[in-house]
Each structure stands twice: as C-alpha cells, then as structure tokens.
Structure 1
C-alpha cells in the first residue's frame, strides 16, 4: 500500500509540485474607466459614456452605471435602476420585498428612492480597489454587479408583475 502523495511530500519522498503560472497571478493594477470599458466590450455589451463621464448601458430594459468613486477613483460601483417605477401607495410592500432581499443575500444592496412622486428601485455592488485590481477580480466584480442586479429586478417582477414588457431601449 502506498502513502498518499501529500504524505510522501511531507515525509520528503516527493518533490513539491511546481506552481503553474496562471493569468490570475497578475499583479493588481489601478482601476480605470478604460479597464471597465474593455471588459464590457470583450463581452459584446453595448454602453455609452454619459455627460458625467460614467459608463452606462441597459440590461433587460434596466439602466446600469459603472461608477468610479472616491478621491482617486478607487471605488468601483455597479449601480442599476429598475426600468419600472412603483406608486408611492405600494411603498410598504416594496420595502418588505427589498428588506427580504437584503436580509437573504449579500449582493446587490437594494434600496428605494422617491423620484417625481413614484418609487424607483436601485441595486448596488461596490468595492474599494485602492490597492489595485487584477483583470480576473475586475471581471468578477462587474459580472456580480450586473448579474445580481438583473436577478433582483427579475425577482421583483415576479412580485409586482408589469402590465407590459420593458420599454424599448434606443441604440447606444
């Protein structure tokens, strides 16, 4: 009977396996708007730069922004706004649904905002990347912000079905 490989290594019978270089071994680099745009373009996503210089686009009819916040633009925030608005009279029901979401999930943070006499639902995933970020980490954060935001909006659609499909989105 032979000993497992890890035991032989511990006892000096096997050399330590060589570490394979992986793309995720890259050193962290500063967060930039160009890096966020490169990720989005590589996936075939369409977006524009708005008047504030932020990247923005629509996914399933809802608007998402890719914001660089902080003194050195070191904080990445993926913020989504559900395409629908909800009457103020449904605040209690929507607040319960948002609280349930926030209690049961880590991402995205969800919140309501009163805008022009109705309620708007937002999603946010934020990360402080002051020490820099690898391409793999950046991809995970962006995918998390978009994916979980879309999931939140789809879940609320089940609770508060709309009268029709999402509005048509003009080409960006």
Structure 2
C-alpha cells in the first residue's frame, strides 16, 4: 500500500472533544480549584501574591488567545546592580527553558520580571490552563529563588517586611 493510499479497513477514531476558548473565568476557575488566593484589578486582570512576589495572569492577543503569567521579583535592588542583574538573568535565559526573565530600571530600583506565555488560538482544556498557570508560577519562583541566593540581604529585608504586614 502506498504512503498516500487510504486504508478504509481501519476504523476512524472518534474526534477529540472540542476545546473551549481561553477566558478570565477559566483562569479563575483553575486558581479556585487549587484554593489559591487572587484578586481582580480595575482593568479586569487577575493577580495575586505567591511567596511575596506579585503575579498577574493576562489575556493577550487580538482575541485574548494568549495566556501570559507575569511575576515580579519583590526585592529592592539599586540601579548600581543593573549590570549584575542583567548578567544573572541573561544566564538564566540561556540555561532554562522557562520562564523568560527580563530586567528594567524603574526609578530608583531595578525590576526583574518573569514571563511565561502560551498561545491558545485553537482553544484550551481546563487541565492545560491549570498546567500553564502552575508552570508559570513555579518556574518564576525558581528564578526569583536563584536571584535571592545572589542577594541574601535584600531577600531577608523583603521577608521581614512581609512578616510585619
């Protein structure tokens, strides 16, 4: 039988279930299923704190088909450390698949962010939403822990401030 010859003796497999569109309700449903605490801001974005770091879950793209988990390292590091943080985050990006990390100078501090973005243009299953949220949060926390090891005083100061709140 040739490569392109259809063998009609093999029964066709049933079509997989249709995938639903990505939505804010699907995101909050996944977080609720894990009993995770979150809020919704004035723009309708879902966000919360994990290990003291602020995370948001954005719907991006023309039809909200991209799910992006974005976390910010919650440490106060001065602009004099911009070069060192760029090196650390670039090394991370070169040796880790997720998340993408980047560094920005923000007034008198250096902000470090982690992002994990997935395209669900053709729909998504609830299990996929859950998996990608877990992946985005956990890998971002790994990056932030790596940075905390390089900046132990800043990490200790942030954790002490957190305990006072």
TM-score, scaled to structure 1: 0.81
- Matched-pair contact (CA < 8 Å) for 1:26–1:134: no
Match of 2:7 in 1: none
Match of 2:157 in 1: 164
Q: Following the alignment from structure 1 to structure 2, what is the Cα–Cα distance between the partners of residues 165 and 44?
A: 25
Q: Following the alignment from structure 2 to structure 1, what is the Cα–Cα distance between the partners of residues 128 and 143?
A: 22
Match of 2:91 in 1: 100
After superposition, give the CA deviation of every residue in 1:66-99 in whole Å (9 maximum; x if it has no partner).
0001111111000000111311111111111101
- Deviation of the 1:165 alpha carbon: 4.3
After superposition, give the CA deviation of every residue in 1:31-74 in whole Å (9 maximum; x if it has no partner).
00001001001111100001111000000000000000111111
- The ranges of structure 1 where at least 4 consecutive aligned residues each deviate by more than 4 angstroms after the TM superposition are none
- Matched-pair contact (CA < 8 Å) for 2:65–2:120: yes
Match of 1:15 in 2: none
- TM-aligned CA distance change 1:170 to 1:164, over 3 Å: closer
Q: Following the alignment from structure 1 to structure 2, what is the Cα–Cα distance between the partners of residues 113 and 96?
A: 13
Q: Is it true that 1:110 corresponds to 2:101 in the alignment?
A: yes
Q: Following the alignment from structure 2 to structure 1, what is the Cα–Cα distance between the partners of residues 105 and 43?
A: 22
Match of 1:119 among 110, 113, 116: 110
Match of 2:127 in 1: 136
Q: Following the alignment from structure 2 to structure 1, what is the Cα–Cα distance between the partners of residues 145 and 120?
A: 29
- Matched-pair contact (CA < 8 Å) for 2:31–2:130: no
Gaps of 5+ in 2: 1-12
Match of 1:70 in 2: 61
Quote the RMSD (CA, aligned, Å): 2.2
Q: Which secondary structure does the structure 2 equivalent of 1:67 belong to?
A: strand
What count of residue pairs does the alignment treat as equivalent? Answer: 150
TM-score, scaled to structure 2: 0.84
Match of 2:71 among 76, 80, 92: 80
